[in-house]
Amino acid sequence: MPSPPEQPYPQREAELGRIALWLHPADLGWLSSRCCCTHATPAEEQQRCARIRFRAQAALHKAGAKDR
């Protein structure tokens, strides 16, 4: 059984401007695979999409959850 994910340091996360968001693993799996970018999507938006998908997948991995 995987160990529970490490809790972030609230003060550091606040300093980085991050806000906690708890999602069901199935929702994280959906988010990590969801991308509506096309070749016409601006690079900045493509990078944002990639960051969000990466963080969703990393959260699943850290929690020991399989891809959903």
List, for residues 18-59, the tens digit of each pLDDT value: 887 889 999 999 999 999 999 999 999 999 999 999 999 998
Inside any domain, residue 31: yes
Inside any domain, residue 4: no
Q: Which DSSP string do the residues of the chain spell out, in sequence order? A: -PPPPPPP-HHHHHHTT-------HHHHHHHHH-----TTS-HHHHHHHHHHHHHHHHHHHHTTPPP-
Structural domains in the chain (count): 1
Inside any domain, residue 51: yes
Domain span including residue 30: 10-62
Inside any domain, residue 43: yes
**What contacts 26, CB < 8 A, 6 or more positions away?**
68
Inside any domain, residue 17: yes
Inside any domain, residue 16: yes
Considering the entire predicted model, what is its pTM? 0.70
